[in-house]
């Protein structure tokens, strides 16, 4: 489990959550969840962006160290949800409209978008299809895995 004291760090720099969002291009809702430690998923890329703009570093210990597979899983899930939100917003579609088209209830879509729930594969397909997307399995780059 990773616990971050982001709100304390923001305040110590004299910043607001809104300013951090603007400086990092991380959605305000995501920053808010990270500050309240209610996010169930922390994207490594987002943590790195925050550390760059706030001039801090991630300190790892045995309890927070992630395996490459865990890191890949976190990054995949966050990228998937980011893409889902981006596709919905590009189409000018509300969560409610997406719910009506996909058959997935709006609160479930909201939980997915705020990373409070990990969706089942069938739910992902139902939501992604009306947005013009699907999922596929692709081989990992051999350099990432060390597998030949």
Q: What is the pTM of this model?
A: 0.56
- Divide the 148 residues of the chain into consecutive groups of 10 and give the mean pLDDT of each group: 72 90 88 75 76 74 59 78 91 96 95 82 94 87 53
Give residue 142's pLDDT: 56
Query: Which structural domains are found in the chain, ordered by start?
Result: 6-54 (1.10.260.40), 68-131 (1.10.260.40)
Q: Nearest 5°: CA angle at 37, between 32 and 40?
A: 100
């Amino acid at each position: 489990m990773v616990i971050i004291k982001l709100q304390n760090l923001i305040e110590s720099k004299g910043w607001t959550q809104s300013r951090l969002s603007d400086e990092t291009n991380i959605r305000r809702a995501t920053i808010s969840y990270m500050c309240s430690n209610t996010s169930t998923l922390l994207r490594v890329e987002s943590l790195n962006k925050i550390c760059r703009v706030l001039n801090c570093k991630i300190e790892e210990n045995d309890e927070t160290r992630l395996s490459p597979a865990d890191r890949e899983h976190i990054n995949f899930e966050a990228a998937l949800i980011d893409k889902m939100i981006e596709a919905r917003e590009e189409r000018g579609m509300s969560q409610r409209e997406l719910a009506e088209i996909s058959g997935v209830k709006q609160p479930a879509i909201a939980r997915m978008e705020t990373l409070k729930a990990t969706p089942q594969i069938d739910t992902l397909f139902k939501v992604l299809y009306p947005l013009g997307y699907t999922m596929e399995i692709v081989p990992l780059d051999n350099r990432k895995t060390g597998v030949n």
